[in-house]
Structure 1
Amino acid sequence: MEPVKQIDGRAIPFGRKNVDTDVIIPSKWLKTISRQGLGRGAFEALREDPDNIFDSAEFSGSPILIAGDNFGCGSSREHAAWALLDLGVKAVIAPSFSDIFSGNAFKNGILTVVLPQEAVDRLMEVAQTDPVSIDLESQTVTTPFQDRFSFEVDPFRKHCLLNGLDEVGLTLARDAAIATHEAKMRADLPFLAKGTGVVAALNCTLKSTSQAR
């Protein structure tokens, strides 16, 4: 997972409330187990309108999406986060998020920023013509017009995002502690550890999984 520290650029002024995961990525796209290519299906129903904002040249490749209340409600499909990433979105700003979507977004390196509706309205206005900047370290969203909005973020999630750590990365970071524990286990309980090669097998599996991501 790539570290998330500063996200700058045009923000898609979407603003729609109660956008569920079926709107973000329709169920027919869930047959794949690959994360690649899902951006083509992101907001598919809305993109049937030739004037939709997601296919606008002005917002092509925008790393920030500004949404309305309760973004990501509905089913728990992780494909919604995958689709946003494949679309180029690295952060979503909204007054509130579905808990499950927020968790899936975090695990895939997408920053979810909760701001009051008044702040979201202001950012929607700015996004029509100018870029927006998100600084995770200082937990602020700023604009070229001296707007500055602070947001809260869970300290553990902040640490993981800043350092690009998913579950695999967190486990690999504890490699030395795991090795020490396994060595002690082999010494204290040789009948359990005999011939298992637990540490080597675990490291091999985790590194393979990390590379696959």
Structure 2
Amino acid sequence: MDKFTVLTGVAAPLPMINIDTDMIIPKQFLKTIKRTGLGKHLFDEMRYTADGQEVAEFVLNKPAYRGAKILVAGDNFGCGSSREHAPWALLDFGIRCVIAPSFADIFYNNCFKNGILPIRLTKEQVDLLLDDASRGANAVITIDLERQEITGPDGGKITFEVEPFRKHCLLNGLDDIGLTLQNVSSIDSYESNLAGDRPWIRI
């Protein structure tokens, strides 16, 4: 998993509440277990018409936001079914941070496990960032995870909270497998001792 330290990029405004995981990545794209290739289907039913043409008015189809790295959204982001494909699709598109007043718990947890930083802020703070994000290509903000600080286009700063353990994992690029591999020497030692003590067990 890629480390998350300081992220600077264009923020795309999506001021909708209750954006569920089926809106983020519709069910027909869940046949794969690969984490790549899903970005083109992110928000598929909002980004494209029934015959596959881009919807020009949708924010991520606008030239200024095609390379957005940050998404600023409304309350209860990621609600609905518990599909890990939702953060996979965001990450594959290039989104490394989602900012909203609240998130569905399972989606929130899945973000951290996949290298995405979900930031909870008050509605008033989100509204300020939505206003910043409406500036198009000038909607560049910086997120410093170590400092837990967001810097807007005009230099204004907003601090945010993140659990220390999750912060540690993101800063060091550690998913569940990475965390386990930090103890690989202890695991190897245990298995070696187990083989000696119980030779009838095949490891």
Q: TM over 0.5, yes or no?
A: yes
Say which structure, 1 or 2, has more relative contact order (CA 8 Å, 6+ apart).
2
Please state how far the C-alpha of 1:191 moved relative to its aligned partner.
3.6
Secondary structure of residue in 2 paired with 1:2? coil
What amino acid is aligned across from residue 56 of structure 1 in structure 2? K
Q: Please, which of 164, 179, 190 is the counterpart of residue 198 of structure 2?
A: 190
What amino acid is aligned across from residue 176 of structure 1 in structure 2? S
Aligned residues: 194
Compute the TM-score of the two structures, normalised by the length of structure 2. Answer: 0.91
Matched, 1:75 2:81: yes
Matched, 1:143 2:152: yes
Please state how far the C-alpha of 1:40 moved relative to its aligned partner.
1.4
Q: Please, which of 113, 121, 136 is the counterpart of residue 115 of structure 1?
A: 121
Secondary structure of residue in 2 paired with 1:10? strand
Distance 1:132 1:50 in 2: 24
Distance 2:192 2:199 in 1: 13
Q: Which residue number in structure 1 is paired with residue 103 of structure 2?
A: 97
Q: Which residue number in structure 2 is paired with residue 52 of structure 1?
A: 58
More helix by share: 1
Secondary structure of residue in 1 paired with 2:142? strand
Distance 1:72 1:6 in 2: 24
Please state how far the C-alpha of 1:184 moved relative to its aligned partner.
3.2
Offset from partner CA, 1:20-46 (integer Å, 9 cap, x none): 001001111111222222111111111
What amino acid is aligned across from residue 21 of structure 2 in structure 1? T
Of 48-57 and 22-31, the range deviating more from structure 2: 48-57
**Residue segments in structure 1 that go unaligned for 5+ positions in a row:** 199-213
Of 119-128 and 29-38, the range deviating more from structure 2: 29-38
Compute the TM-score of the two structures, normalised by the length of structure 1. Answer: 0.87
Q: Please, which of 102, 112, 115 is the counterpart of residue 106 of structure 1?
A: 112
Please state how far the C-alpha of 1:192 moved relative to its aligned partner.
4.8
Distance 1:7 1:186 in 2: 46
What amino acid is aligned across from residue 75 of structure 2 in structure 1? D
Q: Which residue number in structure 1 is paired with residue 51 of structure 2?
A: none
Q: Please, which of 67, 84, 92 is the counterpart of residue 86 of structure 1?
A: 92
Distance 2:101 2:111 in 1: 16
Distance 2:71 2:65 in 1: 10
**Residue segments in structure 2 that go unaligned for 5+ positions in a row:** 49-54
Secondary structure of residue in 2 paired with 1:31? coil
What amino acid is aligned across from residue 87 of structure 2 in structure 1? A
Q: Please, which of 159, 164, 168 is the counterpart of residue 173 of structure 2?
A: 164
Offset from partner CA, 1:39-89 (integer Å, 9 cap, x none): 111111111332211111101111100011000000001111111011110
What amino acid is aligned across from residue 193 of structure 2 in structure 1? K
What amino acid is aligned across from residue 131 of structure 2 in structure 1? E
Q: Quick one: percent identity of the two aligned structures?
A: 48
